[in-house]
Amino acid sequence: MMTLLQVESITKRFGGVVANSEVSFSVDEGQIVGLIGPNGAGKSTMFNMISSIFPPTEGSILFCGKKIDLLPSYKVAPLGISRTFQNLQVFKNMTVIENVMVGQHMRTKQNLSGVTSMLLGITRKERKVYEEAMDILRFFNLESLYDQKASSLSLGKLRLLEFARAYATEPKLLLLDEIAAGLNHSETSEMSELIKRVRESGVTILVVEHDMDLVMSICDKLVVLDQGMKIAEGTPKEIQANEAVIAAYLGA
């Protein structure tokens, strides 16, 4: 099994706040790994460093064996790391399909004004991008909404669109930050099925999620953070029986 992501003794300080303290873990190719823990544990901060939004204070992050923690984020995305945001980052004034095309653009390097001409299907290449975008929408059960403004979508559909946009970049590693937050029971089951289908399509996934039924049913491995420190790592079964995790998080 190849190690895709290796987080080595990462510490992040914001002034006096220690958001992550000497955290180490790895993600193997093909795995779904869950990063869990109470609010303020440092989960989003870890995602921000893996996607190079800001660098760690200490430690290093390796992706496919290469050090990426000092790269600017525009150089990390083309290596094959994509993410969703806890506070959604869809373009509200664009349609559903245009949002997916923005994701495709990250890899096809088509210029953004091209999105409009793509919709007119001017060249065969542009037509292909449009058809691929429709395929992605079908994969996420969003095809009937393709021409709707993102601003008109429900929270559940917005979360699917955020996921679809990140998937459209064809990442090797996808980081999902609270992708099921605020979803009802049936939307959460749909999300769970989609995450598994995305993994089957060859994408490795790291998830931050509070819905423990979801996390326990889809993850191969869990890493537990509390107050910036890693307090446990193991299979869902091991984590559910771990005394330190029950005291810090699961017992609450």
Name the residues that contact ligand ADP, by CB under 6 A: 14, 17, 19, 37, 39-45
Shortest Cβ contact with Mg ion: which residue? Answer: 44
Is the separation of the CB atoms in 233 and 25 below 8 Å?
A: yes
Question: Residue 86 or residue 148: which is nearer to Mg ion going by CB?
Answer: 86
Q: Which residues does 113 contact at the CB level (< 8 Å), separation at least 6? A: none
Is the separation of the CB atoms in 239 and 222 below 8 Å?
A: yes
Q: How many CB atoms lie within 10 A of CB 72?
A: 10
We find the least distance from the C-beta atom of residue 17 to ligand ADP, in angstroms, to be 5
Question: Residue 43 or residue 221: which is nearer to Mg ion going by CB?
Answer: 43
Question: Residue 20 or residue 99: which is nearer to ligand ADP going by CB?
Answer: 20
We find the least distance from the C-beta atom of residue 39 to ligand ADP, in angstroms, to be 4
Question: Residue 18 or residue 94: which is nearer to Mg ion going by CB?
Answer: 18
Is the separation of the CB atoms in 141 and 186 below 8 Å?
A: no
Residue 159 and residue 143: Cα distance in Å, rounded? 15
Among positions 2-61, residues that touch Mg ion (CB under 5 A) are: 43-44
Question: Residue 94 or residue 231: which is nearer to ligand ADP going by CB?
Answer: 231
40 binds, among Mg ion, ligand ADP, none (CB under 5 to 8 A by kind): ligand ADP
We find the least distance from the C-beta atom of residue 50 to ligand ADP, in angstroms, to be 12
User: What is 138-156 written as a DSSP string?
Assistant: HHTT-GGGTTSBGGGS-HH
Q: Phi-psi region for residue 86, left (φ > 0), alpha (ψ -120 to 50) or beta? A: alpha
55 binds, among Mg ion, ligand ADP, none (CB under 5 to 8 A by kind): none
